[in-house]
Amino acid sequence: MIDFELTPAVARLRERTAAFVREVVIPAESRDLPGHGLDAALRAELQAAARQAGVFAPHMPETYGGLGLDVRDQSAVFEEAGYSILGPQALNCAAPDEGNMHMLSVIGTEEQRERYLAPLAAGEVRSCFAMTEPAPGAGSDPSMLSTTATKVDGGWSISGAKWFITGAEGADFVICMARTDPAITGGRGATMFLVDAANPGWRVERIVDAIDRSFPGGHAAVTFDDCVVSENAVLGQVGEGYKYAQVRLAPARLTHCMRWLGLARRAHDIALDRANEREAFGVKLGELGMVQGMIADSVIDLETSRGLIQRCAWVLDQGRSGGSESSNAKAHVGEAVGRIVDRSVQICGSLGTSGDLPLARIFQEVRPFRIYDGPTETHKWAIARRALRERIRTTGRPPAQPIST
């Protein structure tokens, strides 16, 4: 049975996080410079303030300067952090660093954790995860991986192109997925490598002009060109990269949902304030049935999203993979967040599309979420296949045959 009650300590932490975001982070939004993500100086300032407020790195163990929350408790705090676009950066729980921290803590060797995880958890460096490739390489279908790593004396040589790599510009290291076998079968044949940004075989080609701009470094096209790394650069075991990536995949999907749900709630609160204040046709907007319908739909989307997040968090805390639960959550929350923000813009009218409210920027930030970490359509495909297989397993009935004519 899932217990939805937070412990008093976590409830206080959630309130401290909410207050920190409201009093420190949101006022700093006006100082966020044009471009991709907050600049390094503002990021360092906000992270120092988060440490002082006792809300820094809630997902990391205390040995790495964090608060040691399990996934369910993270969901409450991450949602509050996500109430501002800058909040996750301030708490050092933003993608892609947060997912990389988790993976390094579970898979990394002691040497790798000391070299890469410790400074990442402290907010001293940034990182990126290089999986997606330009067509016809790996995208929603990871088996199409075209970047290769071949054995050389003392290590490996990585070559290939990657695309839309979040945070690559300015990252101190990259975790790269590359093919190490001629074929990828049964989930085997790919390997993850830790590559220092100073490696001459790695370069950022350009920053993609994407509609979302909250990630430091933006999204980049990058190249690995005879990028030679040592044997110690292998993260996990050779050929098992996709298996190890599952350690990152489900939790990273879910923490994305947590953060974006906070931003959707911010948009909803702005719409509620507008509906309570703005008059039209002799009444407040909030007294109009059509507006009430939109508000009710957003409340339902918020509650169902939170429920799916908490269900998946509970599964992960039980030590289970959470693959199907995180897929369910991602498919629903990605679409629900978009609906909530879109309704909020609609309720606020022209003001909602202007720079006088943060809604226009929020709209830009959340739209790609329906694509990141797997498009909604890919998740629905996987969900349907699982449902069909489970029905056959539980009933013993073969798939329905078409009626011959």
Place 262 in a pLDDT band, splitting at 50, 70 and 90.
Answer: very high
Q: How many CB atoms lie within 10 A of CB 24?
A: 20
- Domains of the chain are 8-121 (1.10.540.10), 127-239 (2.40.110.10), 243-394 (1.20.140.10)
pLDDT reading at 404 higher than 80: no
Report the distance separating Cα 382 and Cα 18, nearest Å: 35
Report the distance separating Cα 228 and Cα 157, nearest Å: 4
At residue 8, the pLDDT reads: 97
At residue 271, the pLDDT reads: 98
Q: Residue 77 to residues 4, 14, 166, 178: CA-CA distances in angstroms?
A: 14, 5, 23, 34
Q: Averaged over 323-333, what is the pLDDT?
A: 96
Contacts of 129 (CB under 8 A, 6+ apart): 96, 99, 100, 165, 166, 174, 175, 248
Rounded to two decimals, the pTM is 0.94
Nearest CA to 84 out of 30, 135, 121, 153 is that of 30
Place 345 in a pLDDT band, splitting at 50, 70 and 90.
Answer: very high
At residue 397, the pLDDT reads: 76
Report the distance separating Cα 274 and Cα 253, nearest Å: 32
> Tens of pLDDT along 73-94?
999 999 999 999 999 999 999 9
Nearest CA to 215 out of 258, 249, 173, 168 is that of 168
> Tens of pLDDT along 235-247?
999 999 998 888 8
* Percentage of the chain lying above the pLDDT 90 cut: 86
* Cα angle 21-22-28, degrees, rounded to a multiple of 5: 75
Report the distance separating Cα 347 and Cα 368, nearest Å: 22
At residue 399, the pLDDT reads: 61
Q: Is 125 left (phi over 0), alpha (psi -120 to 50) or beta?
A: beta
At residue 168, the pLDDT reads: 96
Q: Averaged over 248-273, what is the pLDDT?
A: 96
Report the distance separating Cα 55 and Cα 92, nearest Å: 10
Q: Averaged over 277-283, what is the pLDDT?
A: 94
What SS3 state is found at 147?
Answer: coil
pLDDT reading at 347 higher than 60: yes
> Tens of pLDDT along 19-37?
999 999 999 999 877 778 7
At residue 31, the pLDDT reads: 87
**Phi, psi dihedrals of residue 321, rounded to the nearest 5°:** -70, -35
CB 230 within 8 A of CB 154: yes
Mean residue pLDDT across the chain: 94
Nearest CA to 130 out of 119, 146, 115, 116 is that of 146
